[in-house]
Amino acid sequence: MKTVWDKYQKDDLKKVMGFSEDYKKYLDHAKTEREAVTEAIALAEKAGFKEFKGKGKLKAGDRIYFNNRGKSLALFVIGKEKLEKGMNILGAHIDSPRIDLKQNPLYEDNGLVLMDTHYYGGIKKYQWVAIPLALHGVVCKKDGTKVTVAIGEKEEEPILEISDLLIHLSRDQLAKTGAKVVEGEDLNALAGSIPAKGKKDESDLVKKNLLAILKKEYDIEEDDFISAELELVPAGKARDLGLDRSMVMGYGHDDRICAYTSLKAILESEKPERTSACILTDKEEIGSMGSTGAQSAFFENSVAELLNAQEGNYNELQLRHALENSYMLSSDVSAAFDPNYPGVNEAKNAAYFGKGISFNKFTGSGGKSGSSDAPAEYIAKIREIMDRNEVMFQFSELGRVDQGGGGTIAYILANKNMDVLDAGIPVQNMHAPYETASKGDIYEAYRAYKAFLKDA
């Protein structure tokens, strides 16, 4: 099997490893959709991007971003051609499966304080117990202030945990099916056990003590959880995997791995022929709905603003043209072939580690249900660009026909009548607390995105 590792020379290997070092740093600082946006803006501003202010005429080479509520982002490098002629668009999502705190989370039970949760996205719940969890997010207070929280990443900081049942007493539990071994309502995180000094007959003293700590250290009251977004995510950093260091294991590859590589590609786009665009979107894991999901008007509104700035007066037909003349690579992780579970794949159409960026003509499930199914003509165009730029790529499907399936944001943009092809980086253990990807594929994806922005 020919892989990227056959292709890379010594100098290439240095670049591949260096790129992954930067990626790991991004992953460590971008554990939530909000943090992913904050980090992306910091990198973009360093690369000369400015937030759109609506003033002044646009010129080729201008570098602009739109920040949507700190949870999704659209970046543009204005091309030499008019926007109406279309854009080359990269898209990926920055939300990942996780365990959210409920709006009324805190309770005391037999001298322990727990936090009740509601999981986000598709998870195997049994994977999220008995591992160190960090608490990230924001608490919005009635006076308009916002407390940003990230507890449990530094070694000296405390962590939280959702307990698992000891094996010694698990006879009944282990007779259950995997989906029922750990159930959603039982995902309660252990948060404290020291009681406040109170009267003997006073109840909930442990909770009282914990609330005092929250008040003192973060100025958070119990009511404030109502207007909070607090996410439990695996604590700790992304690590090199394999004795040859060829892979990265970390939380949230899906889909920050495609977000980071897409972002890096647009940050390096200089005066392109067609306008380069990059959408980093939220809420993909729960259906892309809402103001910060891919179905939001946010991206279209941003393009309308740019057209208004470029043309001087906004015309809806120009927006329709700009969208339908665009090309898009919609990126989301693919399922990497796993020798431990070969039966779920059909070998000729599986994605493999080290074979480069993975394209999918369609996603969906059953008879391709729910997929936008990219036109063959457009796929031919992308193949030609990849070959011309010596990017290694593979074409795959998500597993055997009728084995399962999944969706991406591709159809949402394709519905605007543009050509969209699904692309992505193969990962193992998708949606587990720690996922695995090949450094070679990460680097080829970045090279693929650069080639696409330049030549599509």
- Please report whether residue 95 would count as binding Mn ion according to CB under 5 A: no
Q: 34: which 2 tokens?
A: 């909000």
Q: How far is the CB of 407 from Mn ion (least distance, A)?
A: 9
Tell me, rounded to whole angstroms, the distance of Cα 358 from its chain centroid. Answer: 17
Q: Which is nearer to Mn ion, 39 or 254 (CB)?
A: 254
Does the protein bind Mn ion through residue 254 (CB under 5 A)?
A: yes
Residue 41 token pair: 């803006």
Stretch that binds Mn ion, among 78-86, 134-142, 332-340, 372-380 (CB under 5 A): 332-340
Backbone φ, ψ for residue 310 (5° rounding) = -80, -40
CB of 321 to Mn ion, least distance (A): 30
Query: Is 255 among the residues that bind Mn ion (CB under 5 A)?
Result: yes
Nearer to Mn ion, 209 or 363 (CB): 363
Q: How many CA within 13 A on the CB side of residue 435? A: 28
**Considering beta carbons, is residue 332 or 397 the nearer one to Mn ion?**
332
Residue with smaller CB distance to Mn ion, 49 or 359: 359
Interface with Mn ion (CB under 5 A), residue total 3
- Report, in Å, the least distance between residue 431 CB and Mn ion: 6
Per-residue tokens: 192: 């404290």
Residues 6+ apart with CB under 8 A from 432: 124, 127
Whether 254 and 425 have beta carbons less than 8 Å apart is answered as no
- Per the CB < 8 A criterion, the answer to whether 303 and 317 are in contact is no
Using CB under 5 A, which of the segments 152-160, 246-254, 304-312, 442-450 binds Mn ion?
246-254
Give the nearest distance from C-beta 56 to Mn ion in angstroms. 37
Q: Which stretch binds Mn ion (CB under 5 A): 52-60, 218-226, 247-255, 394-402?
A: 247-255
Residue 122 C-beta: closest distance to Mn ion, Å: 7
Q: Closest distance between Mn ion and the C-beta of residue 284, in Å?
A: 6
Nearer to Mn ion, 255 or 422 (CB): 255
**Closest CB to Mn ion among residues 151, 258:** 258
Cα three-residue angle 103-107-113, rounded to 5 degrees: 120
Cβ-defined contacts of 190-196 (< 8 Å, 24+): 190/112, 190/113, 190/114, 190/160, 190/161, 190/162, 190/163, 191/106, 191/113, 191/114, 191/115, 191/160, 192/112, 192/113, 193/111, 193/112, 193/113, 195/111
SS3 201: coil
Q: How far is the CB of 455 from Mn ion (least distance, A)?
A: 26
Binding residues for Mn ion, rule: CB under 5 A, are 254-255, 332
